[in-house]
Copies of this chain bind each other. A is one copy, B any other.
């Protein structure tokens, strides 16, 4: 059993659109997501080893880069995570100096999380390495594949929305 990729030949992209066994889609989609997640994590580990930043933290930094200050609950809702999860992540990020937590003066139960300069810098460095890596992989695809991946992104988001409805 070779570690063959299930990507098949290039011709697959256009092949077998009418028959399309329905049940297979579920399997293939799940497999694709799993493979991509693993590949992304692995390539990040090797490409950006000098300052390991867990992906979950990166994603929070990205949100914070655009909406700051933010409350724990808002971050959790946006990322579809439990608030306890986000709370823990933010705790680590504070220890790492990436973000700061202040009390929301309007509601003292809530916290206002903001990026620190270090956080912004780390995020920028990470994003740079990550984009470089992903762009290389995307560039290795042919134009048709690249186009279809790009075009599928909004649909994939909508699919995720339906899944956690």
Contact = CB atoms under 8 A, between A and B. Distances in A.
A119 B89 CA distance: 36
Chain copies in complex:
2
A31 B36 CA distance: 11
Contact of A36 (B4, B26, B163): B163
A154 B1 contact: no
A137 interface: yes
A13 interface: yes
Nearest to A78: B3
Interface of A: 1-8, 12-13, 17, 20, 22-23, 25-40, 42-43, 55, 59, 62, 67, 70, 74, 77-78, 80-81, 127, 130-131, 133-138, 140-141, 144-146, 148-165
